[in-house]
Homo-oligomer: A and B are copies of this chain.
């Protein structure tokens, strides 16, 4: 699957994905650019039924966790680098927000290259955004120490479905020439017209009893109540992991 054809795969064949293949893909993905060549990430590979069962509720029961042969949790990691500094009597000072964002950047770039490489091999992947909703639970289950933080969970397996590609905004929605141009009312109408016109999106509006698609997002999918409480929890966990 090329990037131009990619889609998230949520149903997998029971066929295994070998350790060798995962290792090979991670090893190639390690050529992703990284801040000062520090490689500020770690990956926890979950294959056992026991560990998947523990992760499952933390990802709100999404069936990919137990349905995929391999679950990978990509973590920002300044712990390893700091441990090296300690061994070398070097004054490590990476317990701050900048260092967290440096490590998060390294981690997410690496995650994406892993996924692209996996998809080139015919594997299907799904990115679970739920990782940021209950980081403390994931930290506890995977035994993540201070100066690490789980950012992305990727389920990996051989595809057992072939869904349609999702719609995307037109390029001009995201591209600004020289300066950012803020969005006028007219621009919003034009840029969201296709998305709002799609039958599947109109169906979302209908089944949720809302006036329009934006309200499905704000009132059903990503609500003020959830955003505010999950965000507060996230900040607490970042503090607990030593990053704030």
**A160 vs chain B, min Cβ distance (A):** 19
Given A44-B180, A83-B188, A171-B26, A93–B127 Cβ distance below 8 Å? no
Task: Determine if A145 is an interface residue (Cβ-Cβ < 8 Å).
Answer: yes
How many angstroms between the C-alpha atoms of A28 and B171 in the bound complex?
Answer: 10
**A44 to chain B: which residues have CB within 8 Å?**
176-180
Task: Determine if A15 is an interface residue (Cβ-Cβ < 8 Å).
Answer: no
Task: Determine if A136 is an interface residue (Cβ-Cβ < 8 Å).
Answer: no
CB-contact partner of A87 in B102, B185, B221, under 8 A: B185
CB-contact partner of A84 in B98, B168, B214, under 8 A: B214
Given A175-B23, A214-B90, A228–B145 Cβ distance below 8 Å? no
Interface size grouping (class) on chain A = 35 or more
CB pair B6–A90 under 8 Å, yes or no, is no
Task: Determine if A64 is an interface residue (Cβ-Cβ < 8 Å).
Answer: no
How many angstroms between the C-alpha atoms of A28 and B112 in the bound complex?
Answer: 14
User: Top 9 closest A-B pairs, CB basis?
Assistant: A93-B224, A88-B214, A98-B231, A96-B231, A90-B214, A108-B108, A112-B112, A90-B218, A109-B112
A-B contact pairs, 30 of them (CB 8 A): A3-B113, A3-B116, A3-B117, A7-B31, A33-B126, A33-B127, A37-B167, A39-B169, A39-B173, A41-B174, A44-B180, A45-B175, A45-B178, A80-B173, A80-B183, A84-B192, A87-B185, A87-B188, A88-B215, A90-B212, A91-B218, A92-B218, A94-B222, A98-B234, A104-B104, A105-B129, A105-B152, A109-B109, A143-B180, A145-B180
